[in-house]
């Protein structure tokens, strides 16, 4: 027996999975560069959110057309890849359609027939997505940040899926023994005549499609790390750790909270034990100017971003011509995080200051101050990403570390400090309106 194909297959499988594991390790390393953030509250609700949003696609269908086709691709691609288990077993042990040997013929035929229908539907859905991107040219795919690699990446993944679905159907159509069963070949029976009836030719095509299919899946798996489609894996933890508090509720800065408490009660002892959750020591830096200043959840959000543009299409600032794009905020955060990760790799595990940071080099103050903090982007995101939190952290840095707020805001804060109100008049005159 010739074991060479099995050995080659095993090598390809080990290399593919090994490279993927290495990238996953790098991914976790990069996410952990963010500040610690403890999230362990309300676990039942978090599991429910993950089931409904990531698995159930509940927020995707708010836009029915794209939601419907996305569900087809999502469900179809996941279920079809059950076939990969059979391919791996066949490849390692030299069997042929091991599933047919261990399962009842009717059940095996039902499974493969289902896979063929789903493969066809996935192909059609992917073509629709390609048309929306490249012919109809929906506005949210034509933004300034969606040029170059982001635009090409969106198309590459569509081509990948088209090819993989085609190879699956061709593999079945040219498998003479499978076609002779006349069970499960619901779609492939109509494709089979296209390849003639020469047994040797059919065998060569079938083997070629088989090898290309499994190799393509491994390439696709490793491509995910470099693609926006990393959300296929990260949508689940991202929705689990998503924000549960009301969207309009912002977290208080503990140190600022203590200062405000002292201002409201001048007789309070500044050295007394702080109130609950209020720390004595100020942080090394208020807010965030680079990715290491953000929380690990912010960085997970960045890697999870699908670049779908729903956030930007709902952003009132963007709709009125402002420079802000919540999608770009997430893309810039991910790009900077990748740059920091490569810096660490190049310097033996230690980050060496490169003279760059997320603020100014990637995201400008103009973008940050254009935000109205309305939470439209958070509500629109289909996988619970929170661009607003990153924006607010960077704003905090500008205000509290650089005193670089817009003039109108600085005037207001000065008035509050001096007069106890946003308006420029003495506190003694605050109630004069009632006498008019």
Query: In this predicted structure, what is the pLDDT of residue 280?
Result: 55
Query: In this predicted structure, what is the pLDDT of residue 157?
Result: 94
- The structural domains of the chain, ordered by start, are 4-31+63-240 (1.20.950), 254-419 (1.10.1060)
User: How many other C-beta atoms lie within 10 A of the C-beta of residue 242?
Assistant: 23
CA–CA separation, 314 vs 311, rounded Å?
5
Query: In this predicted structure, what is the pLDDT of residue 31?
Result: 97
CA–CA separation, 24 vs 99, rounded Å?
31
**Would the CA dihedral through 88, 91, 97, 103 be positive or negative?**
negative
- Full-model pTM: 0.89
Query: In this predicted structure, what is the pLDDT of residue 265?
Result: 73
| Residue 120 and residue 92 in contact, taking contact as beta carbons nearer than 8 Å | no
Query: In this predicted structure, what is the pLDDT of residue 271?
Result: 56
Query: In this predicted structure, what is the pLDDT of residue 281?
Result: 66
Residue 139 Cα distances to 227, 231, 319, 325, angstroms: 21, 22, 11, 13
Quote the radius of gyration of the chain (alpha carbons, Å): 28
Which residues in the chain land under pLDDT 70?
1, 263, 266, 268-282, 430, 433-434, 436
Please state the three-class secondary structure of the chain as a single string: CCCHHHHHHHHHHHHHHHHHHHHHHHHHHHHCCCECCCCCCCHHHHHHHHHHHHHCCCCHHHCHHHHHHHHHHHHHHHHHCCHHHHHHHHHHHCCCCHHHHHCCHHHHHHHHHHHHHHHHHHHHHHHHHHHHHHCCCCHHHCCHHHCCHHHHHHHHHHHHHHHHHHHHHHHHHCCHHHHHHCCCCCCHHHHHHHHCCCHHHHHHHHHHHHHHHHHHHHHHHHHHHHCHHHHHHHHHHHHHCCCCCCCCCCCCCHHHHHHHHHHHCCCCCCCCCCCCCCCCCCCCCCCCCCHHHCEHHHHHHHHHCCCCCHHHHHCHHHHCCCCCCHHHHHHHHHHHHHHHHHHHHHCCCCCCCCCCCHHHHCECHHHHHHCCCCCHHHHHCCCCCCHHHHHHHHHHHHHHCCCCCCHHHHHHHHHHHHHCCCCCCCHHHCCHHHHC
């Amino acid at each position: 027996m010739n074991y060479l194909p099995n050995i080659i297959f095993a090598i390809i499988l080990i290399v593919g999975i090994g490279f993927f594991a290495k990238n996953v390790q790098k991914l976790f390393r990069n996410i952990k560069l963010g500040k610690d953030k403890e999230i362990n509250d309300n676990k039942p609700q978090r599991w429910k959110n993950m089931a409904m949003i990531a698995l159930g696609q509940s927020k995707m269908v708010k836009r029915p057309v794209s939601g419907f086709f996305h569900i087809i691709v999502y469900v179809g691609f996941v279920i079809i890849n059950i076939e990969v288990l059979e391919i791996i077993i066949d490849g390692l042990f030299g069997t042929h359609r091991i599933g047919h040997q261990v399962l009842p013929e009717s059940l095996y035929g039902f499974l493969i027939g289902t896979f063929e229908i789903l493969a066809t539907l996935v192909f059609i859905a992917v073509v629709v997505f390609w048309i929306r991107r490249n012919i109809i040219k929906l506005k949210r795919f034509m933004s300034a940040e969606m040029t170059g690699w982001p635009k090409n990446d969106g198309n590459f993944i569509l081509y990948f899926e088209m090819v993989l679905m085609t190879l699956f159907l061709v593999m079945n159509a040219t498998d003479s023994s499978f076609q002779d069963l006349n069970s499960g070949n619901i779609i492939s029976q109509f494709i089979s005549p296209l390849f003639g009836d020469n047994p040797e030719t059919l065998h060569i095509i079938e083997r070629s499609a088989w090898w290309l299919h499994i190799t393509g899946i491994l390439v696709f798996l490793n491509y995910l790390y470099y693609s926006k489609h990393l959300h296929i894996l990260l949508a689940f933890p991202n929705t689990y750790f998503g924000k549960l508090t009301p969207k309009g509720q912002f977290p208080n800065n503990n140190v600022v909270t203590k200062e405000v408490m002292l201002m409201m009660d001048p007789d309070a002892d500044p050295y007394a034990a702080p109130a609950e959750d209020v720390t004595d020591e100020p942080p090394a830096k208020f807010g965030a100017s680079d990715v290491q200043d953000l929380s690990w959840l912010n960085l997970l959000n960045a890697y999870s971003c699908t670049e779908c543009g729903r956030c930007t299409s709902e952003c009132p600032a963007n709709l009125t011509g402002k420079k802000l794009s919540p999608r770009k905020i997430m893309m810039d955060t991910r790009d900077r995080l990748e740059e920091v990760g490569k810096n660490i790799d190049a310097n033996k595990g230690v980050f060496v200051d490169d003279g760059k940071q997320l603020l100014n080099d990637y995201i400008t103050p103009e973008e940050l101050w254009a935000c109205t903090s309305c939470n439209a982007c958070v509500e629109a995101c289909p996988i619970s990403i929170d661009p607003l939190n990153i924006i607010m952290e960077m704003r905090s840095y500008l205000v509290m570390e650089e005193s670089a707020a817009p003039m109108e805001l600085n005037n207001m804060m000065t008035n509050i400090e001096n007069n106890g109100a946003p308006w420029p008049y003495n506190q003694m005159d605050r109630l004069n309106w009632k006498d008019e």
